[in-house]
Chains A and B, each alone.
Chain A
């Protein structure tokens, strides 16, 4: 019986909407290839410390007798200006860059979803205020503003000196800075989706049954606005990796001793004539990661939004 239904609807084998979406995603070859590539990269980066321990290489150890070594069996991508292993630093940097980007993307998605659903659901003056705010944040020259934020001394905000000096601070700081500005896209998408969902019958039925506004927003509207949130968040991970690298490159992002692809480039810039490959690797990693996230986002858009015509 079920088989007949499936044949009748013309999507043989795909039992659930999720599976159908997965099939559409797989049809997007570039997105699938990007997903595989990124999964591999993330696995390598996460396993970095173990690989390093197993190969008996300490990526933070300096060796001034082994500066700028060419690639060899031991140092697969050579060593940097103070004799650190470039391959393992790339893995460490990748772990931090990806971690920061994903955390910041999730945080911006949460802020964006909240702003969007409240603006769309409540409407009126609050809506126009929030949307003005969103447009304002999009139109502002953000980078110089973020540089100001990155230069703020957190001790003057009442953070304990102990924490202010811990090396985790630069990670938290950059995640928060990025999230403060990155929520706009999700907010606009969720607002648009909320406006259309608000008028649907199932929401009106829930209202008639006496559901509270909070329940309506979080139980009925937000789950149905998941697709655009997922797509926008995936795309934003890419741009955040880029952004983190810019801030780190300017000396305001992830601080040494933590490696990030951005601050590795800053270090390599000074030796660009002596060792051009040092500057090539981290840049290439950023490029590959960002473009892979963009392709995945593009594929997800096709997969999750079947109503949008394939263009």
Chain B
């Protein structure tokens, strides 16, 4: 178990290292550097000034040398400053990460609360009207463009009815919750279809197994069979789908944060890339990746905990 954990964490670090190098390289390919922006903002700047500034920021050195410098100070705990906020990037990013994790966590909880009962209901009578209806709704949720859904919700609930605020995070608990309703709804509606279909498939698989036949044979009601015997079997594989869905959920969070003007990680990364704040974008991407990978690891651990047949082993 310890070996497994150590292996997984080491793997995460390798992924992060590779990511940092790739993203650093891509950033080198982006149009314009900070000095170009300064030149654009200050017509009196001469080309000597620009050259001096480039030397000051180290922009005259080759990309790989700059990356090694960045990596050295990052490993020493200094992740650098955000150009647009003029503050250390972690000061900018950590509160945003908390907000995004809250959004994602709530969406996952609500999705699970819907997907488990609905998926199992559909699985109890495959090809029935209920199953068919659930399947249609799942496909509808999977197929709707998330930003369009957000736009429609804003149109109806914020403008037409005036029930919910359209943007921001709010002050105080009640207001914060009100601000979370629509973003969570968008994330849930666009993701719950996948989860439900997966729960359904997993439950059908479980219901075919021998121990279920035994449970039925000993006279348990269908309700009891599903609740006491099938649930656990269906829950375990659902965790694997969760493990792989954090990345997608983060992407969804980026869209919802942009639509509802929530200061979260996704929006911070997007704004940083658009505004040439490359260090913020780089660290933001790495943090998001770390969070996603940690989420996957937790889901895998949950799987092993729920299904004792699974043994976590360090792969050789």
| Segment touching B, from A58-66, A75-83, A196-204, A244-252 | A244-252
B246 touches A245 (CB 8 A): no
Given A246-B255, A283-B151, A311-B204; A290-B143 close (CB under 8 Å)? yes
**Interface residue? B196 (CB, 8 A):** no
In B134-168, the 8 Å CB interface with A consists of 139-140, 142-148, 151-152, 154-155, 159
Which residues in B have their C-beta under 8 angstroms from that of A144?
250-251, 254, 266, 269-270, 273, 284-285, 288
- A148 near B273: Cβ-Cβ < 8 Å: yes
Query: Given A152-B30, A287-B143, do A279 and B148 touch, yes or no (CB 8 Å)?
Result: yes
Q: In the complex the two chains form, what is the Cα distance from A144 to B288 in whole Å?
A: 9
8 closest A-B pairs by beta carbon, nearest first, are A143-B251, A283-B148, A291-B143, A141-B250, A153-B31, A290-B143, A152-B29, A144-B269
Sampled A-B contacts (15; CB under 8 Å): A132-B11, A139-B292, A140-B289, A141-B289, A143-B255, A144-B273, A145-B23, A156-B31, A238-B143, A265-B148, A279-B151, A287-B145, A287-B148, A291-B139, A294-B143
Query: Which residue on B lies nearest to A235, using beta carbons?
Result: B142
B270 with A250: CB separation less than 8 A: yes
Contact call A245/B30, Cβ cutoff below 8 A: no
Count of inter-chain pairs, beta carbons less than 8 A: 127
A295 on the B face (CB < 8 A): yes
Please give the number of chain B residues whose Cβ is less than 8 angstroms from any Cβ of chain A in the complex: 52
CB pair A294 B139 closer than 8 Å: yes
A residues 289-311 near B (Cβ < 8 Å) are: 290-291, 294-295, 298, 310-311
The answer to whether the Cβ of B88 comes within 8 Å of any Cβ in the partner chain is no
Assess the B155–A272 pair: CB atoms within 8 A: yes
1/0 per residue, CB under 8 A from A, across B11-40: the answer is: 100010001000100111111000000000
Known: A269-B151, A283-B152. A145 touches B285 (CB 8 A): yes
Contacts of A311 in B (CB 8 A): 126-127, 201, 204
For the complex, count residues of A whose C-beta is within 8 A of B: 43
User: In the complex, which residues of chain A have a beta carbon less than 8 angstroms from the beta carbon of B148?
Assistant: 245, 265, 279, 283, 286-287
Q: Known pairs A141-B250, A265-B148; list 17 more (Cβ under 8 Å).
A: A138-B244, A141-B246, A143-B250, A143-B251, A143-B254, A143-B266, A144-B266, A147-B273, A148-B273, A148-B281, A149-B26, A152-B30, A245-B145, A246-B145, A246-B147, A290-B144, A291-B143
